[in-house]
Structure 1
Amino acid sequence: MRPKIRTGYPVTIHGQAFTKVGIVCDASAYDTRSTVEVVYVDAAFKARRTIVAWRGDRFEWSEPSYPGVNVENDPDYELYVTTVKNGRY
């Protein structure tokens, strides 16, 4: 059963090499394509925005080879960057 997701919710993103926690910043495609846009922190502690997909019973990287767009200094994502960097989900 798919979880109910809204903007601001934390999601666990599963991958082959590692698992990350991201904050949902756009859930508009969740009902139609089972994808959400999230902001997460990469290994260099930089905030990135990417798309994750609901597959089976968990969220996985939509495109594992693409790390996402850097949103460190993007004012539209400032709240999500602060939340994910402070770890306050």
Structure 2
Amino acid sequence: MESISLLLGEALAPYHVTLTPSGVHGQCLVTLKNAVGAIVVEREFDQVQFMDKRLLTDVVDGLHRDLLIAEGRLQPCAIEAQRNVAQDRHQALSH
């Protein structure tokens, strides 16, 4: 878990990343704090997501998105609009 914490710390700098075991099914609480120590984002993940490179990339992408929302640089409705556009493109290519 130490190496995962270091990887997340690098990927999410300048935020301080803390990983804490939580839950009875192997969950892990990821806490991101700003420079003054205030919690900016806190999310729970299954530890399995840290073992696969692709899933870990999804974790980091999700935390980046959550940081953008927490900082007011991205509105949740903008995320939904982006998903809809991507889905429409995928469906158009499938036909």
TM interval, short-chain normalised: 0.3 to 0.5
Structure-2-length-normalised TM-score: 0.31
Structure with bigger RCO (C-alpha 8 Å, 6+ apart): 1
Structure-1-length-normalised TM-score: 0.33
Greater Rg over alpha carbons, structure: 2
